[in-house]
């Protein structure tokens, strides 16, 4: 594994954030069809009229987290140069791929089986892929009554981005951030208990357009104590890096790498249980302190969402 000269080391993936135009369908697809847990229902720090929804394993572990900025009714986007175009989830084996092909078909989603993987799209056209999980990766499962534990998604395994000069080594990744270059646009980032695969692909002819079904940014995890050192290290490369921003459940810095992809480095702490009982994550709207005075208004104007855990609990209690 490559490591920066000053010993700083990223701890794998923290989360990936997308854009959606339909919060209800986002919850339905990711928390029901794919069986992830909705671990936080809050609002966008820059636009409190928009949801910010978080999905992951049972506790929202870094490496399992997918988040969405929901801008109701926003038009479809299109991945292009400088954008992530595919997210890969890990599963245990080929039997798991068979299970998911059948489940997706029943739920109305087509898929394409390849050797060791299953390709499909979400309801807004975001490209997703189930791949065989790296055996070194700690499993990050969520529980769902219709998904046997042995077939459950085990965390986010990798992502692919469109970039110009895709097969040239990206120095920021290897020399600054500590990725290992595997050749032909492929990279690996090793954390303490999770590996992450990252890849560059040549872009399509059409220019990208941010909108529903596209990725906004990707975040790498850092030990809390190292974040300021990362901020300094990135600044020393000549890139603009933001100040540290408190996101309630982690702290973040942001910068755009030379090929256009927006990157974030996020801390592990304080985590998603800082303002909710771990058994009831994502069940109530949580509002950042800066917008606390808008809570009643937000409850009246945001699209009502039902956490599938509540529906499942009520169904069990009534049976």
DSSP 172-213: IIIIIS-PEEEETTEEEEE-SS-EEEEEEEPPPSSPPB-SBT
**What was the pLDDT predicted at 314?**
81
The pLDDT tens digits of the residues spanning 45-82 come to 999 999 999 999 999 999 999 999 999 999 999 999 99
Confidence check: pLDDT of 3 > 60: no
**What was the pLDDT predicted at 1?**
40
Q: Of residues 14 and 5, which shows the higher confidence score? A: 14
**What was the pLDDT predicted at 157?**
98
**What was the pLDDT predicted at 131?**
98
The pLDDT tens digits of the residues spanning 261-281 come to 999 999 999 999 999 999 999
Q: Using 50, 70 and 90 to split pLDDT, how confident is the model at 310?
A: confident
The token duo for 53 is: 């929804």
Q: Whole-angstrom Cα distance, residue 170 to residue 189?
A: 13
Confidence check: pLDDT of 291 > 50: yes
Q: Whole-angstrom Cα distance, residue 290 to residue 45?
A: 9
Give the residue among 157, 170, 110, 122 at the shortest CA–CA distance from 18: 122
The pLDDT tens digits of the residues spanning 81-115 come to 999 999 999 999 999 999 999 999 999 999 999 99
State percent of the chain over pLDDT 90. 93
Number of helices (H) and strands (E) in the chain: give both, helices first.
6, 16
**What was the pLDDT predicted at 5?**
57
* Secondary structure percentages of the chain, helix, strand, coil, to 5: 25, 35, 45
Q: Using 50, 70 and 90 to split pLDDT, how confident is the model at 4?
A: low
* Lowest-confidence pick of 13-17, 224-228, 303-307: 303-307
Q: Of residues 7 and 85, which shows the higher confidence score? A: 85
The pLDDT tens digits of the residues spanning 27-51 come to 999 999 999 999 999 999 999 999 9
Give the residue among 107, 104, 106 at the shortest CA–CA distance from 118: 104
**What was the pLDDT predicted at 317?**
78
């Amino acid at each position: 594994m490559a490591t920066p000269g000053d010993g700083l080391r990223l701890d794998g993936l923290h989360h990936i954030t997308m854009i959606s135009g339909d919060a209800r369908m986002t919850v339905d697809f990711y928390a029901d069809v794919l069986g992830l847990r909705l671990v936080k229902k809050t609002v966008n720090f820059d636009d409190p009229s928009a949801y910010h929804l978080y999905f992951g394993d049972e506790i929202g572990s870094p490496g399992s987290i997918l988040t969405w900025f929901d801008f109701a009714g926003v038009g479809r986007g299109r991945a292009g140069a400088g954008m992530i175009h595919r997210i890969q989830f890990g599963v245990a084996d080929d039997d798991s791929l068979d299970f998911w092909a059948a489940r997706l078909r029943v739920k109305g989603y087509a898929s394409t089986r390849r050797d060791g993987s299953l390709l499909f799209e979400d309801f807004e056209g975001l490209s997703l892929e189930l791949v065989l999980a790296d055996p070194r990766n700690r499993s990050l499962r969520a529980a769902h009554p219709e998904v046997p534990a042995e077939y459950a998604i085990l965390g986010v395994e990798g992502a692919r981005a469109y970039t110009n000069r895709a097969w040239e080594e990206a120095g920021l990744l290897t020399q600054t951030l500590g990725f290992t270059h595997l050749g032909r646009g492929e990279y690996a980032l090793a954390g303490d208990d999770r590996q992450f695969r990252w890849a560059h692909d040549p872009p399509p002819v059409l220019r990208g357009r941010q909108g529903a079904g596209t990725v906004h940014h990707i975040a790498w995890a850092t030990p809390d104590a190292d974040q300021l050192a990362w901020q300094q290290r990135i600044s020393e490369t000549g890139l603009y890096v933001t100040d540290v921003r408190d996101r309630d459940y982690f702290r973040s810095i942001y910068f755009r790498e030379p090929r256009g992809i927006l990157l974030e480095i996020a801390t592990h702490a304080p985590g998603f249980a800082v303002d909710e009982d771990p058994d009831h994550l994502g069940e109530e709207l949580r509002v950042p302190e800066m917008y606390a005075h808008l809570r009643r208004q937000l409850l009246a104007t945001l699209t009502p969402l039902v956490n599938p855990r509540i529906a499942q609990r009520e169904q069990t209690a009534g049976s």
